Amino acid sequence: MAIVKLSVIGCGYLGAVHASCMADLGHEVVGIDVDAAKVAQLNAGEPPFHEPGLGEVLRRALDSGRLRFSTDMADAASARVHFVGVGTPQQQGSYAADLTYVDAAIDALVPHLHAGSDGPAVVAGKSTVPVGTAARLAEKIGDAGVLAWNPEFLREGFAVQDTVAPDRLVYGLPGDDAKAAVARDALDAVYASILERGTPRLTADYASAELVKVAANSFLATKISFINAMAEMCEVTGADVSFLAEAIGHDDRIGKKFLKAGIGFGGGCLPKDIRAFMARAGELGAEQSLTFLREVDSINLRRRQHVVNLTVHALEGRVPGKPVAVLGAAFKPHSDDIRDSPALDVASRLSGLGAKVRIVDPAAGPVLRRVRPDLDVRDSAHDAVAGAHVVLLLTEWPEFRDLDPVELGESVEHRTIIDGRNVLDSAAWRAAGWTYIGLGRP
């Protein structure tokens, strides 16, 4: 495999993983980020966030001498392919994506783009962007380099695996055939070892490649809100949504994955991506095409309030001063990410109602202590549940799923558990004397 010199601009979840994995595959990589503390941490071999397996890959790549991180964009100058993986958060007070970081990265990079013996430098956009962004950025880059759009589909918690063994690679290429060939060949060289394994590689125009990412995330969000809407129907009919999901999932046109009803989706991608997609559709005069996503979003947010209502009901309406244990703060297990986390949202709403919320999360605990000093963060589930009038399981960490209801029952004030993720063995908890409340389950 030919070694390619790469830069990765933006070393957040996406960039830090991409830089580490590409160096581990054998390429020579420099990761660039404006945050000096993050760069120092990465150079010391410490991932700035919790991601299984990343520490090992990062340290192996640093030890090989093929990976380093820098705050100086000039260090990217000798690279042939420049990946851009900076954040595109939701704008304050609007649904639209904030493209400030993408534009800043491209503006800073362009003066450092140089043609090499293999031809012009290739800029490969990875950030999730509103459709039309790549065409605009290509104008900005002009003749300084060739732009490709190469969306990333990694899931937090499986980021390393998803990067080195993706389901598919998608390249959005320029309309000009010669430029398209340059971009395609450069990306093929970067991903040679992945392509050798037969990974599907799909090429298209910029707009189609940009849309693949938001369409995939919209579909996943819709699937989750669909099953949560069915959970609402189960709640008014006494039916069981877990059974329903399994039974419809046997139809392989539907499939069993992403049909877990509960407190809904969160994180740094699905919520903001569907909102930015709606905003972009509005700008393009196609608002109607995506109005269903508005419903997907509101079904999702309704689940959070539903859990708050169930808790208030369990406390017989007397919330102020009542100890409530919240197990989980991250938006999903195996992550310390609390961005738009349903678990943290529910905990905050209960705290706002005056409950004495004690929250615990195996990975997000330290993050919470830093950014939410208002919350009572505990170190263990046993500590959080002591004296609790109700226990809420909101992030399905294995250590919470495996809790012993008999042992836990000895330290609570009232044996009431709300299973926000429908992962506990309801029969075992009931047998241990608990009032078990699942979502969309009788």
Is 272 a binding residue for ligand UDX by CB under 6 A? The answer is no
Q: Among 78-86, 102-110, 164-172, 263-271, which window interacts with ligand UDX (CB under 6 A)? A: 263-271
Instruction: Determine whether 301 is exposed, middle or buried from the number of CB atoms within 10 Å of its CB (0-12, 13-18, 19+).
Output: middle
Query: According to the annotation, is 272 in a ligand binding site?
Result: yes
Is 259 a binding residue for ligand UDX by CB under 6 A? The answer is yes
Is 260 a binding residue for ligand UDX by CB under 6 A? The answer is yes
Angstrom distance (rounded) from CA 155 to CA 171? 19
* Helical residues (DSSP H) of 241-341, grouped into ranges: 241-249, 270-283, 291-314
Is 224 a binding residue for ligand UDX by CB under 6 A? The answer is yes
Is 264 a binding residue for ligand UDX by CB under 6 A? The answer is yes
Residue pair 405/429 in contact (Cβ under 8 Å)? The answer is yes
Query: According to the annotation, is 199 in a ligand binding site?
Result: no
Per-residue contact flags (x/-) with ligand UDX for residues 124 to 153, judged by CB under 6 A: -----------------------------x
Q: Among 35-43, 167-175, 259-267, 426-434, which window interacts with ligand UDX (CB under 6 A)? A: 259-267
Sign of the CA dihedral running 60, 196, 19, 277? negative
Instruction: Determine whether 166 is exposed, middle or buried from the number of CB atoms within 10 Å of its CB (0-12, 13-18, 19+).
Output: middle
Angstrom distance (rounded) from CA 333 to CA 355? 25
Is 267 a binding residue for ligand UDX by CB under 6 A? The answer is yes
Please, which of residues 307-336 interact with ligand UDX by CB under 6 A? 331-332
Q: Which residues, 6 or more positions from 352, have their beta carbon under 8 angstroms from its beta carbon? A: none
Residue pair 93/102 in contact (Cβ under 8 Å)? The answer is no
Is 266 a binding residue for ligand UDX by CB under 6 A? The answer is yes
Task: For residue 21, indicate whether it is catalytic.
Answer: no
Angstrom distance (rounded) from CA 238 to CA 428? 20
Nearer to ligand UDX, 33 or 396 (CB): 396
Query: According to the annotation, is 266 in a ligand binding site?
Result: yes
Angstrom distance (rounded) from CA 112 to CA 74? 6
Q: What are the phi and psi torsion angles at 81 (to 5°)?
A: -120, 130
Q: Which of 83, 265, 397, 436 binds ligand UDX (CB under 6 A)?
A: 265
Is 269 a binding residue for ligand UDX by CB under 6 A? The answer is yes
Catalytic residues, by residue number, are 269
List contacts with ligand UDX (CB under 6 A): 153-156, 217, 220, 224, 258-260, 262, 264-267, 269-270, 331-332
Annotated binding site for NAD(+): 33, 38, 88, 128, 156, 272, 339
User: Residue positions in the annotated binding site for substrate?
Assistant: 153-156, 213, 258-262, 266, 332
